[in-house]
Structure 1
Amino acid sequence: MPQISLYDTTVPVLVRALEQLQKILRKGEQWVKEQGKPDSTLLEARIAEDMHPLTFQVQSATNTVKDFLTHVGAADDTNLGDNEKTFRQLYDRIDKTIHLLRAAKKSNFVSADTQFTAQTWPYLDFTAAGYVQTYTLPNFFFHHTTAYDVLRAKGVPVGKNDFIGTQDVVKWKL
């Protein structure tokens, strides 16, 4: 049986999830316009007072990808800025992150048993596989799901099919 690489188990999944995140954000932007509300209605929205707003959720999801590529994909550390205030800026940030993923070379990915220390909160020692399994994917999907939940809680008409993209699964390619 062929062995599946860290690249194969992450890059296509993350690209697709970011594309879906962008689509649900576009639905959110359309919704605020139809409702005659300012964009800040969603961009600054939170599920609970002690949680961060929608913009932070997108920034954190994309930062997780960027950090993953630095540690596991041997990519240069890219500063994404964390200063987005508009939907357009969030779309651009997601586009940059997708570009980083698509530019990643499978041959540059470290082996699953490579060890390193990463600042996850606090600094922790990982193998590359452990980092993907216990930090990258769970943290990415926490923030991705929280962004979706913020939109749902505010009344944006998005559902499970928007989140996972079942409507275009046949057409999708990395």
Structure 2
Amino acid sequence: MSAPLYDFSIPLFIRGLNTLSHIIKKGEEYANEKGKPVSELVEWRLTPDMKPLSFQVQTATDTAKNSIVRIVGAEPVVMEDNETTIEALQARIAKTIELLMAADANKFAGKEEAQVTFRTGPREHLMTGQSYITNFALPNFFFHLNTAYAILRSKGVPIGKLDYLTNFLTEA
């Protein structure tokens, strides 16, 4: 049975999280090379009024793992959003990838028109499964992945387009 919602979401989330892990690793290497405290990376921001790198990782991982919950009704996996080190952020990414890899594609089959309800701040949204994935989950995920990339790049981390795209260019 075909599961389009799975096919165009879960593999992209996994590839994106692998990219996130890779660019954070490059940020850590850069900090070490430049003698900057690695501990400060989690608080790096684009501007003072934007959320830090830690928030970008937390939100990207939440968006990916919550997609499983919202589409197939899986039990939510709570993560405390209290990561204060690069190691903790990397562990969170790895845990989310494990959850995504364990997701059963068959449970996504036929969920395109299923109702999905979720909140963003005080606002409640009602969408179909397909609208949720295409109009919220993927755009939100990529916003936070791109923001993490931009934060690292703005601080001088030598990452480029191929650091971002390499995981998306693989077949499997």
TM range (shorter): over 0.9
Aligned residues: 170
Contact kept, 8 Å, 1:73 with 1:104, in 2: the verdict is no
Match of 1:25 in 2: 24
Contact kept, 8 Å, 2:60 with 2:140, in 1: the verdict is yes
Match of 1:116 in 2: 116
Alignment of 1:34-49 (within 5 A): 34-49=33-48
In structure 1, the residue corresponding to 2:48 is in which secondary structure? coil
In structure 1, the residue corresponding to 2:112 is in which secondary structure? coil
Cα distance in 2, alignment partners of residues 124 and 41 from structure 1: 36
CA RMSD of aligned residues (A): 1.7
Runs of 4+ in 1 over 4 A off after TM superposition: none
Name stretches of at least 5 consecutive residues in structure 2 with no aligned partner. Answer: none
Deviations 1:110-130 (A, max 9, x none): 510111311134111110000
Alignment identity in percent? 42
The amino acid that maps onto 1:85 is T
Contact kept, 8 Å, 1:74 with 1:108, in 2: the verdict is no
Name stretches of at least 5 consecutive residues in structure 1 with no aligned partner. Answer: none
Match of 1:78 in 2: 77
TM-score (norm 1): 0.92
Structure with the bigger RCO (C-alpha within 8 Å, sep 6+) is: 2
In structure 2, the residue corresponding to 1:118 is in which secondary structure? strand
Match of 2:97 in 1: 98
Match of 1:12 in 2: 11
